[in-house]
Amino acid sequence: MSDDEAAMPAIYIDRKEPHLDVDHGALVVRLDGERVAGLPLAGADRVVLRRAGTVSVRLLAELGERGIGLFVLGGRTGAPRAHLLGCPHGDASVRFGQMRLAARSQRVVDLARHAVHAKVTGHRRLIALAMQQRPDLRKPMFDALAEIDGILARLPAVTALEALRGSEGAAAASFFRAYMTLFPDSLGFIGRNRRPPRDPVNACLSLGYTLLHGEAVRAAWTAGLDPQIGFLHALLAGRESLGCDLVEMCRPAVDELVWSLFRDRTLRGDHFRMVEGACLLGKTGRAAYYEAFEAIAVRERRRLRHVTAGLARLARSAAGDGP
């Protein structure tokens, strides 16, 4: 970070015990009382704070006034701790209509199917790309494509929500069987694991999905939707189910990003360390990861805005329907 650093949609603060303040439209970072960076807030969409620190009330007020989100990650693995979403949307009819949609079983299935189709289609594209770039892995890629194509072909006929969730799970399993062959054995990636992630690939997947979830929740909130009322994901206390629905559509972007980071050796095994069974990405690796994530986040934010705006229109229409 430096005073000359250009504004970007997300500002990442990953310093030990920083104090964050605002001064003439810039986010000021101080360490031990000394100013180390001034980052312009103009053009910023959100601030991601990776480590414990202090945030001035002045900065919180400035972020709220500008509509800039604050996403706080804490603990060794960077789990979400707090999320400032900004001022609430003024049209309560959107949330009212969203609740009406969630009470209509056929509409729930239709919306959930859209999320599943987007995710599975994205994974199909990624596997097809991998088969072109890795002809030595043609067999696992070909098998995954055949299984995924079968699931996509049957998807329009699925009318039960549980069956739809089963299709999504089957497609994810097919994808990961092929996906894990793209990484060297030295990384120890033999499938998806989390809380905590136990290998470098899972550590990067978890970080990307966490950042995406924050983007999805904020997009839903900004559009006037309730992030906790989803369609593919059932209501569950403490879970932002709509945020989870939206993340499903964007997962392939993170999966491709993680593959590219290891393929191009932007990240290597020595960027990670094991602590009490958890695989942790070090500070140097995180800096590289944040930069790469921002390159895809611009597109995914645009996608999330488009999807949530469409869902908000649908919800507003449902609010005006009869009982």
Residue 114 is assigned to a ligand binding site: no
Residue 123 is assigned to a ligand binding site: no
Q: What is the C-alpha to C-alpha distance for residues 248 and 267, in angstroms, rounded to an integer?
A: 25
Q: What is the C-alpha to C-alpha distance for residues 68 and 65, in angstroms, rounded to an integer?
A: 8
CA proximity to 248, closest of 295, 206, 209, 306? 209
| Token digits of residue 177 | 């069987």
Q: What is the C-alpha to C-alpha distance for residues 108 and 183, in angstroms, rounded to an integer?
A: 37
Contact 183, 260 (CB under 8 A): no
Q: What is the C-alpha to C-alpha distance for residues 258 and 285, in angstroms, rounded to an integer?
A: 12
Side-chain-side CA neighbours of residue 84 (13 Å)? 21
Reduced to 3 states, what is the DSSP secondary structure of residue 44? Answer: coil
Reduced to 3 states, what is the DSSP secondary structure of residue 320? Answer: coil
Using CA atoms, how far residue 154 sits from 113, 117, 141, 157, 165, in Å, is: 11, 11, 20, 6, 13
Q: What is the C-alpha to C-alpha distance for residues 205 and 126, in angstroms, rounded to an integer?
A: 15
Residue 248 is assigned to a ligand binding site: yes
* CA 288 to chain CA centroid, nearest Å: 17
| Residue type at position 142 | F
Q: What is the C-alpha to C-alpha distance for residues 171 and 246, in angstroms, rounded to an integer?
A: 17
Contact 94, 225 (CB under 8 A): yes
| Through-space distance between the first and last CA atoms of the chain, rounded to whole angstroms | 55
Q: What is the C-alpha to C-alpha distance for residues 312 and 317, in angstroms, rounded to an integer?
A: 9
Annotated binding site for Mn(2+): 168, 233, 248
